[in-house]
Amino acid sequence: MTLNLHPKCYKALYPWASAELLVETSTLTSSEDVRKNRDDEPDCVGRVFGRESDAYVSVRPCAKGEPMCSDEWTNDGEPYFFLYQTVFKRIKLRLPLTGFERALLKEINVAPAQLHPNSWAFMRAFSILCNHFGHPPSMDVCLHFFEARSPGKNLWVSFNGVAGRVLLTLFQQSYKGFKGKFFRVCCTDHNRTLMHGFPLYWVMKLEFKKPRTLEELTPHDREFCQVLASLGAVFNTVQLIKHEYDAEALKGYIGITLSFFVMHVTILLCLYILPLHTSMFTLVFWIAF
């Protein structure tokens, strides 16, 4: 049973929490709010959370006034984690969390709700890209291309592409409207281990490691990193997430992206190696034919 406490009680329970964190509470506090976000409609494949995950996880409303920094003490000892509505609705996260997602949260030592939605989008798009190329999503490969950054004055930890290794575009340049809208996620008796192996609750002392070097990777992961780097393309995160459940559309998008990169490189090479007196018409004709 979730407790409903006075705001001053939360301050006493979590004296380490900042004022901003203590006032980050959810407006999704009723069973109706949960129902509205289910993907019960047959045309909503892969959206929000649906009945196929009911045996493993239970998505529940939050208590009124319950801050993001709460832990199992406010939930009668039952473990859970918070997650923003937008991560289900726009970024299409599926429950339960995958082994890759849990391993990455553990490595960077943050709770699911502590990770900025744009960073969840990077994780999702990276997984989709790996699966497309037949390589299981790897935490080490991900941390070769991305690094976790301090939130600074903000609450949420963000991923950034490592300089010279940019693989994905930002999901949304200025991500707004997600604050104050999060659910509580609990596991069922079917598999309690789904809550194991990663931080469930807000972590205050953050430590950020340097990106993985190729030398730190296994031969298999190192080879895949080199394959991705050799493509030289920057993939659109929005498009990857959009086409996740349409194999043909996804294949088409990735093919077009790679073709565009090859064309771009070809044009640059042609401009570089053709004589300076070559006319633009001749250049275009030479590239086309």
Question: 18-52 pLDDT, tens per residue?
Answer: 999 999 999 999 999 998 887 654 444 444 565 55
> pLDDT confidence of 260, banded at 50, 70, 90?
low
Determine which of 135-149, 180-194, 267-281 has the lowest per-residue pLDDT on average.
267-281
Q: Is 137 domain-assigned?
A: no
Structure-token match 């070559």, residue found:
278
Q: Is 144 domain-assigned?
A: no
With a cut of 90, say whether residue 198 has pLDDT above it: yes
Q: How far apart are CA 38 and CA 153, in angstroms?
A: 34
Q: Is 118 domain-assigned?
A: yes
Q: Is 35 domain-assigned?
A: yes
Residue 72: the pLDDT is 86
Largest Cα–Cα separation, the chain = 79
Q: Is 243 domain-assigned?
A: no
Q: Is 138 domain-assigned?
A: no
Residues whose CB falls within 8 Å of the CB of residue 137, separated by 6 or more in sequence, listed in order: 98, 100, 126, 127, 130, 131
Q: Is 251 domain-assigned?
A: no
Sign (positive or negative) of CA dihedral 143, 132, 83, 92: positive
Residue 270: the pLDDT is 54
Which token pair is 121? 């989008």
Which token pair is 172? 């949304």
Q: How far apart are CA 155 and CA 5, in angstroms?
A: 23
Q: Is 108 domain-assigned?
A: yes
* Total domains present in the chain: 1
Q: State which residues form the domain around 118.
A: 7-128+177-208
Residues whose CB falls within 8 Å of the CB of residue 155, separated by 6 or more in sequence, listed in order: 18, 20, 21, 24, 68, 114
